Amino acid sequence: MPASTCAYVIALTLRDLGVTVIFGLVGIPVVDIAEEAINLGIRFIGFRNEQACSYAAGAYGFLTGKPGVCLLVGGPGVLHGLAGIGNCSANAFPSLFLAGSSETNLVGKGAFQELDAVSFLTPHTKLAVRPSSKEPDAVADAIRRAYHSCWAGRPGPTFVDLPADLIMDEVSQLPKQLLAAQMQSPAKPYPDPTIVSEAVKLLRRCSSPLVIVGKGAAYARAEVAINAFVSSRNVPFLPTPMGKGVVPDNSRLNASSARSTALKEADVILLLGARLNWILHFGQPPKFRPDVKIVQVDISVEELGRTNGIGEPSIGVVSDIGAFVEELHRRLNGWQAFSSIASQDTSSFLGKLSAATSKNEKAAKAKALTATVSGSTLTYQRAFHIIKETLHRLSPPEQGNIVYVSEGANTMDISRSLFPLHHPRQRLDAGTYATMGVGMGYSIAAYAAYNLPHGQLLQGKRKKIVALEGDSALGFSAMEIETMQRQKMPILIVVMNNSGVYHGDTANAKDWELLQKQTAMDEAGLDESGKKKGLRSTSLWYETRYEMLAEMVGGRGFFVRSEEELAHATRESYHEQEKVCVVNVVVEPGLGKSIGFAWQQKAKKGSGEV
Ligand code: ADP
Ligand code: MG
């Protein structure tokens, strides 16, 4: 073999594992790994910040069902990447992180970017290792084991530390393991038949069953089984934010618009790949019935012991979601939760769900359908309505050609219910960890997962990635817009610009020039309520021109104030095949979810304390 270094062995090992994309940010010494990978035909997506690329690797793992791979420099690179490692761990995203580190003989002497990354990452990963030697077989073995471990069982992040002297070491032979076949996806656990029998008994006896579909069900690709079960057994279902689309949102059994009623009234809940954490109010009263019986299905046995605070789940099943639901469906032959889903009396479970749905949908639609008065600012609801209507005319939701990424407190919460999904794994948001700043990395990951480089079409289809971003959320990784354009990813980024974090800062936004003067001279006094005038913690620069971030790399930017401008910008951006697009929509500060309420109450009472 030609003279080469261990960097080549590392790249070859990844290629033979079936890795086709690496998300990363290079420096010495990992640049050699990236270069060898590119020469072997692996797509290297180079980011501007390790945080964004570590988020991307996790989202890619979730969307493709195979580990996302992330390459980082050591020390500070690993520290920045910890953001994504923690995020992958919290969300159970399969992801392999590789990072460089100091030369082995310099450890402890203050070497370049020195960090004991294995110790540092051990608590945050499923496995953190350094190859046992520089031998090609040892290096390949460490990478293969870490790749397998992040994928098997409950997915999560794993880590391989690669010292500089190892990466640069000259090798004279390739690892024997490379002759091994590409790694197969991990075996699925099947449910214990006696436990399925218990679940069958419980369902046959109950009166108000509910299925909760979590992102574990989406990751498990259990959509065929769950759709068959829900629709032929007439069981209402409730998706979690990233479980959306496993069953199409337009199903008549969708209880999303009656979420509180569904959780409060259900006597048996089939919990499919979702945890009873803050997203589901820990499964406790008053949100849930005190006597609710929960059949919890999870690939992780530890999760079953962590249930709703009342004790063990009524029935805990360690199983792949699809395998369990198929078996349950078969064993419940002939059973239906409700013989008909139409015309229920209002005291029944279905009747209550339907009444709550009508009431809530009417309220939600009111704002979306209220046209903006000429000269006034768009509301979130109205802006989303216009974006949705425009996109749906161009690509009906049944076709599933649009993948949504959404983050920012108001932007994420309000948009969640306004954009219906008909297909699974087409919506990414801040997730289990409520991580803000994931949007740019997730959008790049979604593009890479669903489209081939440079406009080649995957399975004959191209998917448009639409990122709905709060202005604050975008700011975490806005420089990745350059990455998108460099990688020829015509992603559509909508910025909901309320000039601030959460609700922004109405008072100051209205008199921005004065505020700037006051801040400069530091002579802002107190207002009548005892609140200091000047910048608040939620203030951002007033009406920042985020669309120029697209223009700086030859992409397309739209500054939008009116309904007509928004519809036009959305249409143009949807059709754009080559360029990244930023649609900067001005929405009024002060709208949407509020924070700092306790402070305001205190200020009103005149205490003036912060
Ligand atoms: P959500 O955010 O939708 O509530 P969570 O991330 O809290 O979802 O929960 C997802 C759960 O799904 C995790 O506990 C994870 O262990 C589980 N899971 C992941 N893959 C599978 C699978 N193939 N089969 C069963 N459970 C799975
Ligand atoms: Mg904002």
pLDDT for 151-204, tens place per residue? 999 999 999 999 999 999 999 888 876 655 678 899 999 999 999 999 999 999
* Domain finish residue from 137, 171, 205: 171
What's the pLDDT tens digit per position in 540-592? Answer: 999 999 999 999 999 999 999 999 999 999 999 999 999 999 999 999 887 76
> How far is the C-alpha of 62 from the C-alpha of 47, rounded, in Å?
19
pLDDT of residue 530: 77
- Co-location of 146 and 200 in the same domain: no
> Per the domain annotation, does 526 fall within a domain?
no
> How far is the C-alpha of 381 from the C-alpha of 384, rounded, in Å?
5
Which pairing describes strands 95-101 and 68-72: parallel, antiparallel, or unpaired? parallel
* Domain finish residue from 171, 205, 223: 171
> Per the domain annotation, does 394 fall within a domain?
yes
58 lines ligand 1 (CB under 6 A): no
> Per the domain annotation, does 578 fall within a domain?
yes
Closest CA to 267 of 206, 324, 321, 204: 206
> Per the domain annotation, does 511 fall within a domain?
no
- pLDDT at 135 > cutoff 80: yes
- Co-location of 224 and 115 in the same domain: no
388 lines ligand 1 (CB under 6 A): no
- Co-location of 552 and 433 in the same domain: yes
* pTM of the model as a whole: 0.95
Ligand nearest to the CA of 591: 2
242 lines ligand 1 (CB under 6 A): yes
- Co-location of 205 and 161 in the same domain: no
Domain around 216: 193-358
How many Å lie between the centroid of ligand 2 and the Cα of residue 412? 11
What's the pLDDT tens digit per position in 374-404? Answer: 889 999 999 999 999 999 999 999 999 999 9
- pLDDT at 457 > cutoff 80: no
- Co-location of 472 and 344 in the same domain: no
> How far is the C-alpha of 528 from the C-alpha of 513, rounded, in Å?
20
Give the Cα-Cα-Cα angle 416, 417, 422 (nearest 5 degrees): 95
SS3 269: strand
* Domain finish residue from 326, 358, 390: 358
The beta strands (E) that lie in 203-300 are given as: 209-213, 237-239, 268-272, 293-298
243 lines ligand 1 (CB under 6 A): yes
Neighbours of 534 (CB within 10 A): 16
Closest CA to 60 of 580, 571, 449, 589: 449
pLDDT of residue 521: 57
**Confidence category of residue 593, pLDDT binned at 50, 70, 90:** low
214 lines ligand 1 (CB under 6 A): yes
Q: Could you tell me what percent of the chain has a pLDDT over 90?
A: 80
- Co-location of 154 and 203 in the same domain: no
Tokens of 263: 């959780």
- Co-location of 289 and 317 in the same domain: yes
- Closest-lying ligand 1 atom to the alpha carbon of residue 241: 3
Ligand nearest to the CA of 546: 2
274 lines ligand 1 (CB under 6 A): yes
At position 507, the amino acid (one-letter code) is A
- Co-location of 10 and 59 in the same domain: yes
303 lines ligand 1 (CB under 6 A): yes
**What integer is the mean pLDDT of 133-153?**
96
- Co-location of 211 and 166 in the same domain: no
- Co-location of 322 and 469 in the same domain: no
> Per the domain annotation, does 516 fall within a domain?
no
Minimal-distance CA residue to ligand 1 atom 20: 216
237, 280, 299, 425, best to mutate for ligand 1 pocket (most atoms within 8 Å of CB): 299
At position 15, the amino acid (one-letter code) is R
- Co-location of 326 and 460 in the same domain: no
Ligand nearest to the CA of 539: 2
> Per the domain annotation, does 417 fall within a domain?
yes
211, 275, 306, best to mutate for ligand 1 pocket (most atoms within 8 Å of CB): 275
Give how many domains the chain has, as a whole number: 3
> Per the domain annotation, does 220 fall within a domain?
yes
Q: Domain of 307: which CATH number? A: 3.40.50.1220
Minimal-distance CA residue to ligand 1 atom 19: 216
pLDDT of residue 518: 66
Neighbours of 118 (CB within 10 A): 16
> Per the domain annotation, does 595 fall within a domain?
no
HSE on the CB side for 94, CA within 13 Å? 23
Minimal-distance CA residue to ligand 1 atom 8: 274
Q: Domain of 142: which CATH number? A: 3.40.50.970
How many Å lie between the centroid of ligand 2 and the Cα of residue 103? 45
How many Å lie between the centroid of ligand 1 and the Cα of residue 125? 17
pLDDT of residue 504: 81
Minimal-distance CA residue to ligand 1 atom 9: 274
How many Å lie between the centroid of ligand 1 and the Cα of residue 300? 8
pLDDT of residue 522: 58
- Co-location of 341 and 390 in the same domain: no
